[in-house]
A and B are shown apart, each in its own frame.
Chain A
């Protein structure tokens, strides 16, 4: 990879005083901790939506496609709109992990894991639609070219819908492999930190015995690079093939050569917007603000702005060329979009996709988390309408005026869409509690070149690492007694400050609690705490990060343990129970 030198004007990518250990602790925290109430609430909502969607799908398949709002003219609407929308969203993940890897963008490291997860979960949603929109989905396996008893009746390889099958299935499998390979070192980290045997067992299974030897790392990097090189053309080709569904036809408004790159640009656009939406929430909920910084949000906004401009340019190109072509059907298709019965969807698409990303030209706006969040949602609404406009407005009025018609969705159309959103969030919420959501191995690889702590050290001209002073060294510096005396005195000082903050224990009025009930405190640790003068839950519950650090410094054992196990939180609960 690129060298370790970094221009001083580059902003740090990891904020705060983070060393390697802190990175592990922060990233493992959501996996090692327990889900809170909000998580369960959101998860239940998503699950209900998902189950509702399952109901709608079962209803469709058992009753027939006629339950949808489709008609003889508009025979593709919400189904394919949602399909293309979900596939599009799925593109940012591979883009972030593959294309940004090829372009050596270090900022991708904090976001690629979640972006890839998002890819996989949204491609799963997309993959539902080609099956459920079939009239006879139980014969779906006929799209696969397998030798059979019908005199080896095969598929026709000329149809873009068949190319879709290959594109989507390849895309899903390659993305999955790419994602999982990247997860190996991170799963290994969770495995090595796990205390509970069940957790240890699971993470040992999924980390495939990763031991992080030099040879493994070398091959790991090579594989990542090769997969990135393969995934990049894949990303382009997958959405291109999806665009061929329309562009190869002869429908005015569909048949246009700009579709392949324009769909890809739109996919990056909507995909990044979705990553933005999810990460803005995730950084807050999982306390990852030090890794997913405002700079990351700003850079994603810039990508959104660029791809939004490309998409805007394509819209204008289509309009101008429709006029230029002199083909009246083509001209009418665009006139119909702008002024026909679906003018509002065209207007919505134009404002959401072309106008809204342009505000990102202002630094104030693109560094504002709230506005970024809003725009990211607006963009995805706009991109849904883009697909809707392309599909429905081109179909409902084309060559023969006698077949002009309208389209309105039924509750089943809507229900299935809501169901896929629910399913997506079910998967994503489960993911965020069980997977390391940031690639710790990768973040660690840029920590010394781009971490704030090391950048500051370099600026100050200090070495990036100093060996911790051992007791022997301290004594070597001065006379033994003097030093040990000084050490004892300073230790006493530290203990006093700590007790000042936590409150002292008075054996006459107070009663000592069984500190061992706090998870993470064993008999030995309890003794150590008692020696310091810490006996009650009340005392422990007053601990914050600062006190934890002081405690670590005094005891010198299990650094970071208290914080990880959230002793204070546990103590608070136990204290409340006691009273």
Chain B
């Protein structure tokens, strides 16, 4: 049995407290009027990079001239700015909440695949995975609450929830059959309900298998996992359209669901590797050897490349065809987010590619941990780049609200996951592939 070390517990609580503080500061410092917002932008620009500001202003002025509506533009601009700045703390919370939820969901998908594929190497890690997936319950509830608050107009994350905007926008009216608040929440509840249900059923069967004297629970679990994967294939795509793609409601991409999947899958696997290495270093997983770590690292390596493949596929096709209604998505990202946008490709692709290519390095714990951390930060950035341009736009900054939200959810994640790990023995006892996993050597 695993006991939650006091240091880790206190550490996670401290993270949560610091995070709450940061998030609080974010919400308090958000402007409430247009003037305040404009003043904030003016001061921050004076503080920071005065040089570039004038040039940007000049081009802005030229653009406004071209519109020929200078009078109306001033207030429009201010209101737009206000919404962006007000969105920033919300957006920060939403990104962090989704990111940590995505880790648990990615692990759940990996876990189901391992069960459905009857993998021989991984049963020793099932309890670790089950511990991580326990987070989808609180994490899912938090996301749902944020979505409900959005529907209640507590924020402006989803433009299409704003009846006034929709009234002026023919495109959004056309999508109202899908993008309407009620249906949106029903879908979210359906996805979350399905995922959580599988997680709970599978966990129960997994524990029951340890005590039973035949393989019936194991077989049931196999069937549930196969069924879940079908459900997941469909709902994961829809979830990504709902929760992320609809933030840019004018934009669409058929690949988007699978792209989000790759991101959550690789970061989920990375999380398994990190938690396993931690538990092993504390002596809790005596039968896990470096071949298991090697396999996890191979998955990190392979799925990182797969993520890049999808990232490139989506980016290149839209860049190549350059159809105006699609390409704005990447135009804003490249203009306003150049460093994080291309930086994440380095972190999510080039770095793991170079570091994890070598077979020996994949067995060295600190190499895997180091790469894992870079990959996780990279995929946080990935989620950030998917969400922020639509909510905050060029007013983005990674500051106290963002870091606070990450700290809070990281603390909650660690607390919940390691608490769940104490609830059952860390090694299953009666899985028919357990002996294979124990003897696994690559």
Contacts and interface: CB of A to CB of B under 8 A. Distances in A.
Interface of A: 1-3, 5-10, 102, 233, 236-237, 240, 244, 247-250, 255-261, 309-310, 313-314, 316-318, 321, 324-327
Interface stretch (B30-38, B102-110, B316-324, B341-349): B316-324
Interface of B: 118, 120-121, 171, 174-175, 178, 215, 230, 233-234, 237, 241, 252-258, 302, 305, 309-310, 313-314, 316-318, 320-321, 323, 325, 432-433, 435-436, 439-442
24 contacts: A2-B440, A5-B436, A7-B432, A10-B118, A102-B302, A236-B309, A244-B317, A247-B317, A248-B316, A250-B321, A255-B321, A256-B317, A257-B254, A258-B254, A260-B317, A261-B255, A261-B309, A313-B234, A313-B237, A316-B234, A317-B257, A324-B175, A326-B171, A327-B325
Contacts of B255: 256-258, 260-261
Contacts, number: 94
A6 B323 CA distance: 54
Contacts of A1: 442
A318 B254 contact: yes
Contacts of B118: 10
Given A257-B253, A257-B255, A261-B258, A9 B432 contact: yes
A233 B215 CA distance: 38
Contact of A257 (B120, B234, B313, B440): B313
Contacts of B230: 309
Contacts of B316: 248
A366 to B, nearest CB: 13
A244 B315 CA distance: 12
Contact of B435 (A7, A236, A313, A317): A7
Contacts of A310: 233
A7 B321 contact: no
A248 B320 contact: yes
Given A102-B302, A257-B255, A325-B252, 16 more contacts: A2-B442, A3-B436, A6-B120, A7-B433, A7-B436, A248-B317, A256-B254, A256-B255, A257-B256, A260-B310, A260-B313, A310-B233, A316-B234, A317-B257, A326-B171, A326-B174
Contacts of B441: 2-3
Which 4 A-B pairs give the minimum distances between C-beta atoms?
A258-B254, A257-B255, A260-B313, A248-B320
A1 B257 CA distance: 35
Contacts of B215: 9
Nearest to B257: A317
Given A7-B432, A7-B435, A9-B432, A321 B309 contact: no
Contacts of B257: 317
A2 B175 CA distance: 52
A310 B237 CA distance: 12
A324 B241 contact: yes
A309 B233 contact: yes
A152 B442 CA distance: 51
Contacts of A8: 432
A537 to B, nearest CB: 53
A188 to B, nearest CB: 28
B313 A255 contact: no
B440 A261 contact: no
A309 B215 CA distance: 28
B317 A257 contact: yes
B39 to A, nearest CB: 38
A5 B435 contact: yes
Nearest to B322: A250
- Most chain B beta-carbon contacts within 10 A, residue among A249, A257, A310: A257
A5 B439 contact: yes
A102 B318 CA distance: 32
B213 to A, nearest CB: 15
Contact of B309 (A7, A240, A259): A240
A7 B310 CA distance: 36
A249 B321 contact: yes
A157 to B, nearest CB: 13
- Most chain B beta-carbon contacts within 10 A, residue among A5, A237, A318: A5
Given A250-B323, A257-B317, A313 B436 contact: no
Nearest to B359: A225
B171 A260 contact: no
A249 B318 CA distance: 10
A424 B105 CA distance: 45
A259 B314 CA distance: 9
A99 to B, nearest CB: 10
